[in-house]
């Protein structure tokens, strides 16, 4: 393990180093705990790629939307317009006074933290690379596809449309995940209704079109990095799905690209962040925008933790195609994207590392 623990050989064999790191099943948490002063070469990014990692705007903040009166006849139209405007201009917004109790947020965060901070021998039995189903604990889902690794570990669980057997979920976060998923699904439906109404559609349109049916949970863990200026916690990318609910702890790191500037996101305690995915940008015919975002490598001793729920299309037959909703196409606003198949969508995401809006670029007319 000398290569993985930071020694720099005269001949660099990235494939071999990646394999050794993955086979060790220690993740970046294990590297961080070992006390290394220099990170392995597989994590070092070209300077031209991360030269602007600190060049962020301090004058802009993602929109904050209050859902406390979301069911009020008097207030809902204003909330719908706020959601529409935020999804169009930023692709990101924070929700306050949402429906999820603070206790649920605290408990799932603490449970994921506890899982990642277990002794390595207890976690290693769960370490596996898995794709489109089941329960996974690993480091860098795209480790073997990306050009450079990033400084994070994660757990993921596919909760819908087919949830795993309950005993497949590690007991240390099992009950907390079930409760979080129930609440996140409810909030996802509420936000989906607001997004549909913002497009001038019936509030049930996204749900009835199976656009919120797939739910994937992610428990991201960003430990201390001894050389945060040489790497990132998560590369810049857009989410491929419909929308994402994100809850980071108070350790900073998330950056969103807005009008060609990277903006540091300052999460409010108890708030949840929503961002638009590529799929919804296409379905909305460009009315809503998926935008690039990234996570800086963590320079603090306290771990950064993000609780994530990805919503994606479900009930997708192999013969079906998706594209802009026909009701949103007109002579004044023709289709901006072509239709695409399930195979094309899946292959675009799973055949490579994280990247920026590659699906959008491929489908643009």
Angle at 360 between CA 355 and CA 365, to 5 degrees: 150
Per-residue pLDDT of the chain (365 residues), as tens digits, is 334 444 454 578 999 999 999 999 999 999 999 999 999 999 999 988 888 887 666 667 999 999 999 999 999 999 999 999 999 999 999 999 999 999 999 999 999 999 999 999 999 999 998 766 689 999 998 999 899 999 999 999 999 999 999 999 999 999 999 999 999 999 999 999 999 999 999 999 999 999 999 999 999 999 999 999 999 999 999 999 999 999 999 999 999 999 989 999 998 999 999 999 999 999 999 999 999 999 999 999 999 999 999 999 998 877 788 999 999 999 999 999 999 988 888 887 766 556 666 788 889 99
pLDDT of residue 5: 47
CA proximity to 356, closest of 276, 291, 304: 291
- What is the SS3 assignment for 217? strand
State pLDDT tens for residues 18-69: 999 999 999 999 999 999 999 999 999 998 888 888 766 666 799 999 999 9
State pLDDT tens for residues 130-156: 766 689 999 998 999 899 999 999 999
Distance CA 211, CA 328 (A): 16
CA dihedral 45, 49, 53, 54 (to 10 degrees): 110
206 alpha carbon, distance to own chain's centre: 20
CB atoms under 10 Å from CB of 144, counted, come to 13
Say if residues 220 and 136 touch (Cβ distance below 8 Å): no
pLDDT of residue 348: 79
pLDDT of residue 3: 41
Q: 53: burial class by Cβ within 10 Å (0-12, 13-18, 19+)?
A: buried
pLDDT of residue 160: 94
Distance CA 196, CA 184 (A): 18
Say if residues 196 and 139 touch (Cβ distance below 8 Å): no
Distance CA 84, CA 195 (A): 6
State pLDDT tens for residues 257-267: 999 899 999 98
């Amino acid at each position: 393990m000398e290569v993985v623990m930071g020694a720099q050989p005269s001949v660099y064999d990235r494939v071999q180093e990646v394999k050794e790191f993955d086979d060790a099943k220690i993740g970046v948490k294990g590297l961080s705990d070992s006390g290394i002063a220099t990170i392995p070469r597989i994590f070092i990014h070209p300077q031209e790629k991360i030269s602007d990692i600190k060049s962020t705007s301090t004058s802009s903040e993602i929109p904050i939307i209050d859902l406390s009166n979301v069911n009020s006849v008097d207030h809902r139209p204003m909330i719908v317009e706020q959601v529409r405007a935020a999804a169009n201009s930023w692709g990101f917004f924070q929700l306050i006074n949402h429906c999820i109790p603070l206790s649920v947020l605290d408990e799932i965060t603490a449970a994921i933290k506890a899982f990642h901070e277990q002794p390595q021998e207890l976690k290693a039995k769960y370490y596996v690379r898995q794709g489109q189903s089941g329960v996974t604990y690993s480091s860098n889902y795209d480790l073997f596809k990306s050009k450079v690794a990033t400084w994070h570990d994660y757990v993921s669980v596919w909760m819908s449309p087919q949830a795993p057997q309950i005993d497949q979920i590690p007991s240390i976060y099992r009950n907390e995940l079930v409760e979080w998923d129930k609440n996140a699904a409810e909030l996802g439906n509420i936000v989906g209704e607001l997004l549909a109404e913002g497009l001038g559609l019936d509030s049930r349109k996204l749900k009835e079109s199976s656009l919120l049916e797939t739910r994937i949970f992610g428990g991201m863990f960003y430990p201390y990095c001894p050389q945060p200026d040489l790497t990132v916690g998560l590369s810049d990318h857009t989410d491929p799905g419909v929308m994402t609910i994100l809850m980071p702890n108070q350790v900073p790191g998330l950056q969103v690209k807005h009008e060609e500037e990277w903006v540091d996101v300052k999460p409010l305690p108890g708030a949840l962040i929503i961002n638009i995915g590529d799929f919804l940008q296409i379905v909305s015919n460009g009315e809503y925008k998926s935008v690039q975002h990234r996570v800086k490598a963590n320079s603090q001793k306290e771990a950064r933790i993000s609780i994530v729920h990805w919503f994606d299309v479900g009930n997708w037959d192999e013969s079906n195609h998706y594209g802009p909703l026909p009701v949103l196409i007109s002579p004044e606003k023709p289709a901006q994207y072509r239709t695409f198949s399930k195979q094309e969508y899946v292959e675009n995401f799973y055949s490579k590392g994280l990247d920026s809006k590659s699906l959008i670029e491929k489908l643009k007319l």
